[in-house]
A and B are shown apart, each in its own frame.
Chain A
Amino acid sequence: MIAEIGAFAAALALALSLAQGALGIMFANSTARAGAAAALSQAAAFACALAFGCLITLFVQSDFTVAVVAANSHVDKPLIYKIAGAWGNHEGSMLLWCLVSALFGAIFSSLRGKQSLGLWSRTIGVQGLVTAGALIYTLFLSNPFARLDPAPMVGNGLNPLLQDPALAAHPPLLYLGYVGMSVPFSLALAALIEGRADQAWARALRPWTLIAWTCLTLGIGLGSYWAYYELGWGGWWFWDPVENASFMPWLVAAALVHSAIVTERRGSLASWTILLAIMGFGLALLGTFLVRSGVLTSVHAFAVDPRRGIAVLILLAVSLGTGFGLYAWRAPKLAQPSGFSAVSRESMLVWNNFGLAVAAGVVLTGTIYPLLVEAFGGGLISVGPPFFNATVVPLLAMLFLLLPLGPMLTWRVGDMRAALGKLAPAAILAVLTLIAALVLSKWRAMPAIGLMLGVWLIAGGLVYLWVRLRRGEGKLSAKVALLPLAVWSMSLAHIGAGVLTIGAVAETAFRSERAVLLAPGEGVAFAGRRVTLLEVGGIEGPNYSATRANFRIDQTSGAASLHAERRYFPTSPMPTTEVGILSALDGDLYIALGEQIRGSEQWTVRLYHNPLVHFIFAGILLMAFGGGLSLVALARKRMVST
């Protein structure tokens, strides 16, 4: 019964969002019609929430007459993972996509602010059509409420690797990010239909780009953290096609966050901002396509159904076709921007956008190149990390070299000499880092340059904060409290990028890795420590049994103990690795237990030392925190102004 209610609610949501689309877009200057579209969007969100609530209930009740529940849940699973199981699969996650899209539409429609009626109404309309497209796909190609006959008794169980708190939160966050890009897309299309993209429009756009970017940052970070401690490969980023699929919209969202500032503050770059919003949503859809169609070899490619892939491609073609078509037709009519000098904050932000957009283009090329080669009969190929390291990394390095200059320049016409003068301490610190890193790493230029850039970003961010604090009269402590949140948020996000850079460079260039065979009682010297395998025994978990190995780590600061496990779930033939991680100031010692060598006492043990790896995750968190703070700043400004 609950499944039928869910399916009905989803169908109802489809009807409601189609009506929302029609009324919102053909608004004909009528307040009543626009209001009706807004009301419809709230009803559609309610219907979607009802449908998703039904799906969660089915998972909690372990109703195995429903195919998705039977394939992805198990009676023995802990409750939290039963709930997370609702979106840990293809069908459920698509319903989540619809819910987020409808919810964002409803929130947008209830916060009109100072937007013109036409832009507001048409944005609600386009958002309705986006939701409707996702619902059509969900209902007709991946219905989560389909029944299964005969029903199994216990269910297949969620892939044990996915039974993890970080991974329970990873898909919803990424979806908030992906779908968050749909609102800027709707706003962009509305602006093109209206033939107007003014500062109020950019003001409405900014919070949505920030939400999308912040959620993407957190979602990617969580996924990367999960891969680090759960997969047992010792790495955190693999340039896997699906990682790229989330990285491309992230790059474009980052560009959009910056270009929207220029459009809001100065009224320029409106047409570029619109183009970015269209591309960002296109890449988010492409991300969904890459993940869901299984066209690329990837750890995530689990839904191999060509019909679904084609359907997502059709959605992509319709969205991008409409977006670019409207852009080509209407964008020339948008008001011409006011000018700015080559040395100004605007121009620095243009360079930022240029760098991020080119980086996104390069990642896109590398990701779809294997598909193109195969489609034209060139054989099966793969494009791996060497490609991305040789292309994306230098682009980002150039971007980071310029980054601290941006905030130091004023709008319209900046003074480069003054900016460089203020940044001199940061530059000196960065050069000292370069020299120290060159000497200590025995003249390895690439990591040294990377570390220099990281320090340059952090020091540049701190110098900017200092310059802002020194402005005006009064006590420093009083001025700290008065400093606008926007200044803090930007500085923290930029400092976060620096921290991430340092971590990424150190981890990539200076990690050590060793695989050894150890019998209980045997030890090995590794990364300045001695690692001894004490004993290996069996333990029982809630829904798995495990082999646990205990280690003793002798280091200069004393001895520590650490354990690593291999878990066997009755529902899955493959064991999972539960790594042991010993964090220290200089990085992580990371131990993964392998298999016992047949007919011997020895176990294979993989040892990694990942220097400064926590900088990576701390940097990601700082960037996301900066994004969140910026949202708070916008919300506060809005409350003050209304």
Chain B
Amino acid sequence: MSKMRKRDQRLMIIGVAGAVLVLAATLTFAGLRDSVVYFVSPSELAEKAQPGQRIRLGGLVVEGTVQRAGDIATFSVTDGATAVQVRYEGLLPDLFREGQGVVCEGSWRPGQAFDADRVLAKHDENYMPREVAEALKQRGEWKGDSRP
């Protein structure tokens, strides 16, 4: 009798554990499907981005293109071949600089500026977003590591 109960208990534990695992796996894969953000360079934007899809655009900020009007900033991002205009509402991060690497997260529709709601420019002066470095390397624009 007690042996029987022990086996039932074990089955129950395995059942609950299995259910939790399946739930965790489902959450994980659903999460990965919905919240993965692809990275593109300005040249790839038109071909790879679905209109309105959330995407990361990375490149160098073109010198002399940064304009601020109240809360709205516009600037161009380039990978050396193509430049894309970006529109961002809010204040640009401290480390945002013309001529430096930047990653913009937002969405894009053909014929419009890239509508960014996050602009990442990180805090190390030697820091180049890795995606930007890769994109620049592919374009032959890479000028080598700035680190001595």
Contact = CB atoms under 8 A, between A and B. Distances in A.
Interface of A: 71, 156, 159, 161, 231-232, 294, 296-297, 299, 301-302, 304, 339, 341-342, 347, 350, 354-355, 358, 361-362, 365-366, 369, 379-384, 386-387, 390-391, 394-395, 398, 515, 517, 566, 572-575, 577, 594-595, 597, 604, 606
A384 B38 contact: no
Judged by DSSP, the binding face of A is mixed
A167 to B, nearest CB: 12
Contacts of A304: 145, 147
B27 to A, nearest CB: 5
A263 B90 CA distance: 55
A379 B39 contact: yes
Contact of A391 (B28, B56, B90): B28
Interface string B41-84: 00000001000000010000000000010110000000000000
A304 B31 CA distance: 30
Interface residues of B, number: 41
Contact of A161 (B34, B71, B123): B123
Nearest to B12: A342
B37 A342 contact: no
Contact of A362 (B24, B35, B38, B131): B24
B91 A398 contact: no
A394 B28 CA distance: 11
Given A231-B123, A369-B36, A515-B71, 12 more contacts: A299-B123, A299-B124, A342-B9, A342-B13, A361-B24, A366-B31, A381-B39, A387-B31, A391-B24, A572-B125, A574-B124, A604-B91
B24 A594 contact: no
B24 A381 contact: no
A397 to B, nearest CB: 12
Nearest to B135: A380
Contact of A383 (B27, B32, B129): B32
Interface string B119-148: 000111111011100100000000001011
Nearest to A359: B24
A381 B36 contact: yes
Most buried by B among A299, A350, A380: A380
B134 A380 contact: yes
Interface centre among A354, A387, A398 (most CB of B within 10 A): A387
Nearest to A362: B28
A71 B131 contact: no
25 contacts: A161-B124, A231-B123, A294-B130, A299-B123, A299-B124, A354-B20, A358-B20, A362-B27, A365-B32, A366-B28, A366-B32, A369-B32, A381-B37, A383-B35, A384-B35, A386-B31, A387-B34, A390-B30, A390-B34, A398-B20, A574-B94, A574-B95, A574-B123, A574-B125, A597-B68
Contacts of A577: 94
Contacts of B6: 339
Nearest to A70: B148
B135 to A, nearest CB: 8
A361 B24 CA distance: 10
A296 B34 CA distance: 20
Contacts of A302: 124, 126-127
Nearest to B118: A384
Contacts of B48: 379
Contacts of A362: 24, 27-28
Contacts of B130: 294, 296-297, 301
A406 to B, nearest CB: 15
Nearest to B58: A380
Nearest to B90: A515
Nearest to B33: A387
Contact of B38 (A299, A380, A566): A380
B118 to A, nearest CB: 9
B59 to A, nearest CB: 13
Contacts of B129: 297
B35 A387 contact: yes
A568 B9 CA distance: 65
A303 B53 CA distance: 33
